[in-house]
Structure 1
């Protein structure tokens, strides 16, 4: 069997005794400089890799906490830093902090980092003129920050891969390991290899009857958690689990032991999201059912995460499932565990009910058409001109009659001469009713237009224009009066219009 020596081509030697240098350069000094440069670059590369790995791990731990907050906590609690702190300490290890060779030992734990983030977001809200105590505002800021972290993490992963490749191109003697004094296990890591292994197992099982005298032992392919890129996508197995009866914990335990791959963060959240759909369909019983089942997945997954196993370890997951049901749900001597679990389910159910109610109200408000009074010209504004209620002038009495046809609420709003209060009344009524109000307001000539003058020159110009217009009107009146006088003087005496016609 030929031996592949190509891997030795990548070795970066730090002491090259055969190197050729310029006659004016000391060979020993050159080799020393080269050694120092190689070691410095290698140390910096290893340090950059360690920093990147620590940074990516830290972002992952922070995102895990932020994501759980966004799913589990209401807007009001999200704006209360004490509620956020209590939730974090109740659901995560408050002493857990970043680990790594270059990590500052004084760095705060992950929970404190998240609390500092919320404090920073409140300050950002104040700077932008928004209410920092409004949970919906804080939720929006958190989502924007979460997107930034995702972008930074993606960039860090790309940089890390580049460092890995660069390290492979400059391997040192420390990276070379002989294959003659150590054993190795050929692990099937790719999906294609796992599929082939599964097919081989099926063939072996089919041929067992033909090979009674021999036993075939094949490695089992690793079972993976169900994790879709689409966070809303629900696996058929998870959907079936959501239909299991509330309180039938024996059935739930049996199902999870047979379908461990659904116990993933993505499937748990996707199942929880379906509760919104059922609640919006006015099916609270079904909504509570899927929340209950999703919470089972959540509790078990949190316990499994403490083992820090990135893949689905069947034996470990089996132990976690059995331990959870035994100590939390089956323990008759200490019912506090089941009580706490059911309280958590009820809290999330109430949260979803309230959120759906708010969403429905927002949809109703967005779907209603109404009339609002507003000037379309920036140089003018609308003003309220009430009729003279004590006047005996027929025109004013006509306006008062139209005003009295309006409902009392609209009359009171108009009397304040505040256009915002008038618009508030318009917003409360239907479009057809608002149009009727507007017709009466137009009939009473209540809404007028007032010009806005930006400076003193505009005022003087308008004043001069008004004076000129009055002078012109006076001149026209004088000319008309003179024409009538002249006509009277030129008219022959003793003649009547009747005589002229004749």
Structure 2
């Protein structure tokens, strides 16, 4: 077989043969300068590639959210005023922002999160729209229509601009990666033959399986069934085993897997260190045991721990799929904050978790239907969030005083319309549901919702969200409209 030596053409050499300098300059110094120049350019290119990958990933996420806002402004729902929707959006981003942020950013710093970036944009767009309408001397009857038009036009311009920026960065990234592949670097070198041999330690035992008691005779029992997220693997195991008792068992967490499941999401360095010191984590059935634990935790309302179990299960699955050296390859990319690799993994993890949440909800619904009851309940999807209610005391007063850092940028008439809309929706609710809302207790609200039929309860929940009464934090408009009180906007 002929040998291929073309790869050596990619070597970037800097020895005596390719250095031509001035006779009065030391040749060794010229060689060192040449080497330093090569390494400096290589490092700048590597940093630029990492920056472009991170920027493109961040911009793609922001583009999706901005497009969603633009579509809502361009084709608003007839039941919700566009200005009320936009004001509610600004209020949510400011008062109850998500901590999601690009890899490497600090989630505790608002301006580094996705919601923080989006808030800066919509705040600027809203101020510009109100300023233009005010300068144009628009009539009060045409005010909302003009503001809506300016908002849609401005957001559409940002969508177009961000798309061009992403296209430019993608082209620059392709150029940089093409230039990088022209030369062989230390990252492309691998270990050769090893002269020493150390026998591997014995393989750890697979995860234990808990037997599910079927009962004796004709006794009727109620059991919880767990959906297998990897049906093909489960079917293969069932065919290999031939024992009927294995079909009635579920993988259980070992002490090491239980400790592994408690590592926070995206703490890749801790997970890598744990795997290195606990070889019994990489065993057959470990990922399935973690998924079973996630299902149980989600069913018990422990959403944060359930998500951690899903995250750790997928870590093991990815390491297995990457082959014999999969653990090192996977964690090297994750710890180095490879934007593309981490984006694929995080999206897979979020999708798997959402699928698990849906299956848990279906399971709980089936259990409820088996008892003849079907209910609509309010449950926060994010374990770090709590549900509260912005309950109005009455219609907006004749005089409204605006206070706080945003007072100058808010329009009194828009605030009045938002408060009136909230009050009208609240008054239309049943009396017992109004009383439950006034307690500001989630259990009291869920109790009333559980007594209503599904269609009525779903309609009420939509109205709560539309009017800004349903909130995952204290709202920006605090309604204190008792007689003699003023309304304060923070």
What TM-score do you get using the length of structure 2 for normalisation? Answer: 0.38
- The structure with the largest alpha-carbon Rg is 1
Higher relative contact order (CA 8 A, sep 6+): 2
